[in-house]
Amino acid sequence: MASSSRRVLLVALLALCSLYGTQAAPSPSPSPAAAASPSPSPSPRPASSPSPSPAPAASPFPSPALAASPPPSPPVPAQLSYAATYATFYSGVTGMPQVATCKHIIDALGLQPTLSNPSLALTIFVPSDAAFASLAAKLKVSPTSMSANSALMRQVMYYHFATGSNGAKAVYHSTALKDGMKLDTMYISTLTKKPYQLTVAVNGTATQIRAVGTTAAVTTPNVKCGAGVAHGIDNVLVPLPLSLIPKF
């Protein structure tokens, strides 16, 4: 009896195993997918700048330079500083210190009217009293008696009046006196009919005026005399060697 019961139970178990063994296990239910977040709307992008064109290959020859703008006008030079200012050359030799002998000779030669013209555009070199005294000592005369030889002294004085070429106006301030410059004078050669000349020599800030027979240093530059200019000098400019000056 007991064995029959066990047999029945065994058959029942086999039947159950056969039943469950052939049936596929149910697939697990998929988890509900999470709701997908809505894709963010793309932000509007600013229009991109066009890509720059590649630089052209450098030419083996330089490009022609652009036309340069015209250079600026040169600066106006600073106003010249005058040692003194007079209305005319005659008032200049009257007012300048230590040139009384020069004024005396000008008066003796009758040059006052000419030198009283305010429009006279010349450059005059004015020897000092000491310069005339030195020349008088070499000539063995007194400074005031030199005017007795009016023809000679007129030539000497005209040799101190510098003009432009062919008697043109010429006002040479100290800055215009350049080394080696030749200056025509009012002393005209009776042989060639050409003016005797003076030569300028400049060494640094020192300026000399060289004549045929003497050399003078400019000691008082730039004395304005009307339309012209005078320069004080320390020697009398002589247009011929002193040995050739006739006796007074």
Compute the distance between CA of residue 137 and CA of residue 145 in angstroms, rounded to an integer: 12
Specify if 147 maps to a domain: yes
Cα-flanking dihedrals φ and ψ of residue 86, to 5°?
-130, 160
The whole model's pTM is what? Answer: 0.67
Specify if 120 maps to a domain: yes
At residue 9 the predicted structure's pLDDT band, cuts being 50, 70 and 90, is low
pLDDT computed for residue 151 by the predictor: 87
**CA nearest neighbour of 215 among 247, 188, 241:** 241
Quick: pLDDT tens for 69-112.
Answer: 333 433 334 567 899 999 999 999 999 999 999 999 999 999 99
Specify if 44 maps to a domain: no
Could you tell me the residue range of the domain that residue 98 belongs to? 84-238
Compute the distance between CA of residue 143 and CA of residue 102 in angstroms, rounded to an integer: 10
Specify if 27 maps to a domain: no
Quick: pLDDT tens for 156-188.
Answer: 999 999 987 666 668 999 999 999 999 999 999
Specify if 106 maps to a domain: yes
Compute the distance between CA of residue 121 and CA of residue 205 in angstroms, rounded to an integer: 25
Look at the chain and report how many structural domains it folds into.
Answer: 1
Specify if 9 maps to a domain: no
**The domain that contains 148 carries what CATH number?**
2.30.180.10
Specify if 155 maps to a domain: yes
Neighbours of 118 (CB within 10 A): 14
Specify if 192 maps to a domain: yes
